[in-house]
Chains A and B, each alone.
Chain A
């Protein structure tokens, strides 16, 4: 509720008296001042929302008072009282943002209209302020809700992906247990062996899953040391060669000879390359067995502006653009229940922590190329 007070400024005592009565009748609490300086003093003290002032006064005229009032409090509604022939001053006062002007002799009705207009402007401004503030509050509330919802969605996706991976493994374990039980029940060697293998395979899967998760979750302290960039690549080749041979896939190393040593965490880079090579072998394996010879290449070379570049290339099944966009996402897998969707997510995390970049080029049916670039010094 707005306080209905008004400051009346006029150097003529008679006018102050008559107008005070009229304004009191209209329900205003009236403060009066006989000149500009006194008006400013009272204004500072009472802060009335409306000021009614004569234009022509000694010492400080109404225009100057208007200017100062607007400077102190731009929202104050100032109504000017003008005499006949003060048109120039009236126009000047409008320029300084007077609300209105009334001419002497003052007609009560005209004064009331001017006061109502001023009150209306005050109310409108207040409403507008409330709306604006509410809007800011509303935007803030909604933003907070949105941030929270997104965080929950991210957690939800992670949990959903994880529970899917666990559900697949549990399914495998249950199936294995069933086959094994039938083997025991019927004393059937085939069921015994198959059931046992299923259980063992799924125990391996859940062991790997928990290890992967642990590795992903733990805050990695990079163990950065100067190393030969070929070393992690060679380790991966040695580790994966038997499996590639078993599947009839050629595993090729293509290392540049003129490489400088780089600073990185060799274990983590090895792990990252291992993920890529495992994927490359899987991509070759999924393909038609009658297709031409399958080949996975691990390349280590110099890269302009970087310490070293690794490439893992395969001529396997490749992937479409939609899949390429999703591969680094949490728990996204193209391998059905064979994959957990953690491998590339970890690889990306490792490369990010080295301030490196990891990219892919791939074409469905033509194979994939993964590129990793590491800076000369990874300060993690």
Chain B
């Protein structure tokens, strides 16, 4: 059995509880973070097998910056990420592309993208699939 920890990042309490419950009932351990800063700190301390990251209006910048920091940190860059968002996938991808050129290399797309509110069954399947690929 490999790493069973999944980091759930969401600024809304309801969504944090819901996603954590999906994570836990899928047989994983949920580590919760309220914002990008807390997420990086916790991931740095104990790297999770998977990150479920909320990219929410109106704090879309925070979510996208957090995504960029995960992807550009040598220790965390290989951790798969599921993006949960109320914004369209295209808008999100456009935003991360805009952030890329400064770093020289293009930020890779997230392993999965789900629109909010996520379906519990689908999220559970994604969690199992992506954490299995990692370990």
A residues at B contact (CB < 8 Å): 167, 170-172, 174-176, 178-179, 182, 186, 191, 194-195, 198, 201-202, 334, 336-338
Contacts and interface: CB of A to CB of B under 8 A. Distances in A.
Given A186-B25, A336-B57, A174 B117 contact: yes
A257 B118 CA distance: 55
A182 B58 contact: no
Contact of A175 (B11, B15, B57, B59): B15
Interface in B42-72: 56-59
B17 A170 contact: no
A3 to B, nearest CB: 64
B58 A336 contact: yes
B116 A191 contact: no
A198 B20 CA distance: 14
B12 A198 contact: no
Contact of B14 (A172, A186, A191): A172
Contacts of B58: 334, 336
Contact of A336 (B17, B21, B56): B56
B21 A178 contact: yes
A191 B17 CA distance: 9
B132 to A, nearest CB: 22
Contacts of B14: 172, 175-176, 198, 201-202
B112 interface: no
A167 B118 CA distance: 12
Contacts of A195: 21
Given A174-B117, A175-B117, A337 B12 contact: yes
Q: Is the interface of A mostly helix, strand, loop or mixed?
A: helix
Nearest to B19: A175
Given A178-B21, A178-B22, A191-B21, A336 B117 contact: no
Given A175-B117, A176-B18, A336-B59, 15 more contacts: A171-B117, A172-B117, A175-B14, A175-B15, A176-B14, A178-B18, A191-B21, A194-B17, A194-B21, A198-B17, A201-B14, A336-B11, A336-B12, A336-B57, A338-B12
Given A334-B58, A336-B57, A178 B12 contact: no
Contacts of A202: 14
Most buried by B among A175, A194, A198: A175
Contact of B17 (A174, A175, A337, A338): A175
Contacts of A338: 12
B120 interface: yes
A186 B25 CA distance: 9
Q: Which 6 A-B pairs have the closest CB atoms?
A: A171-B117, A175-B18, A179-B21, A178-B120, A194-B17, A172-B14
A201 B17 CA distance: 13
Interface string B14-33: 11011001100100000000
A227 to B, nearest CB: 38
B124 to A, nearest CB: 10
Contacts of B116: 171
Contacts of B59: 336
Contacts of A191: 21
Nearest to A339: B58
A170 B17 CA distance: 15
A195 to B, nearest CB: 8
Nearest to A167: B117
Contacts of A334: 58
A3 B14 CA distance: 82
Contacts of B17: 175, 179, 194, 198
A242 B117 CA distance: 33
Nearest to A205: B14
B18 A179 contact: yes
A27 B67 CA distance: 86
A334 B57 CA distance: 8
19 contacts: A167-B117, A170-B117, A171-B15, A171-B117, A174-B117, A175-B18, A175-B117, A178-B18, A178-B21, A179-B18, A186-B25, A194-B17, A194-B21, A198-B14, A334-B58, A336-B11, A336-B12, A336-B56, A336-B59
Contacts of B18: 175-176, 178-179, 198
